[in-house]
A and B are shown apart, each in its own frame.
Chain A
Amino acid sequence: KQEVTQIPAALSVPEGENLVLNCSFTDSAIYNLQWFRQDPGKGLTSLLLIQSSQREQTSGRLNASLDKSSGRSTLYIAASQPGDSATYLCAVSLGAGSYQLTFGKGTKLSVIP
Chain B
Amino acid sequence: SQTIHQWPATLVQPVGSPLSLECTVEGTSNPNLYWYRQAAGRGLQLLFYSVGIGQISSEVPQNLSASRPQDRQFILSSKKLLLSDSGFYLCASSRVPYNEQFFGPGTRLTVL
**B49 adjacent to A105 (CB under 8 Å):** no
Q: Which residues 27-68 of A have a CB within 8 angstroms of B? A: 31-32, 34, 36, 41-46, 49, 51
Query: Which chain A residues lie closer than 8 Å to B49 at the CB level?
Result: 98, 100
Which stretch (B62-70, B74-82, B96-104) binds chain A? B96-104
B51: contacting residue among A98, A101, A105, CB under 8 A: A98
**B contacts with A, residue count (CB < 8 A):** 26
A102 to B44, CA, bound (A): 8
- Interfacial chain A residues near B59, Cβ < 8 Å: 100
Once the chains bind, are A103 and B43 in contact (CB under 8 Å)? yes
Count contacts between A and B, CB distance < 8 Å: 60
Contact B100 A42 (CB under 8 A): no
Given contacts A100-B59, A101-B46, contact A49 B100 (CB under 8 A): yes
Interface size class of A (residues with CB under 8 A): 20 to 34
**Of residues B4, B94, B105, which shows the largest number of chain A Cβ atoms within 10 Å of its Cβ?**
B94
- Whether B43 contacts A34 by the Cβ 8 Å rule is no
Q: Determine if B43 and A105 form an interchain contact, defined as CB atoms under 8 angstroms apart.
A: yes
* From B42, B101, B108, contact of A46 by CB (8 A): B101
Q: How far is the CB of A31 from chain B (nearest CB, A)?
A: 7
B46 touches A34 (CB 8 A): no
Question: Which residue of chain B is the closest to A4 with respect to CB atoms?
Answer: B43
Closest chain-B Cβ to A21's Cβ sits at a distance in Å of: 16
Q: Give every chain A residue within 8 A of B6 (Cβ-Cβ).
A: 43
CB distance from A17 to the nearest CB of B (A): 27
Proximity bits, A54-97, B CB within 8 Å = 1, else 0: 00000000000000000000000000000000000101010101
- B residues bordering A, Cβ < 8 Å? 4, 6, 32, 34, 42-44, 46, 49, 51, 57, 59, 90, 92, 94, 96, 98-106, 108
- A residues at B contact (CB < 8 Å): 31-32, 34, 36, 41-46, 49, 51, 89, 91, 93, 95, 97-106
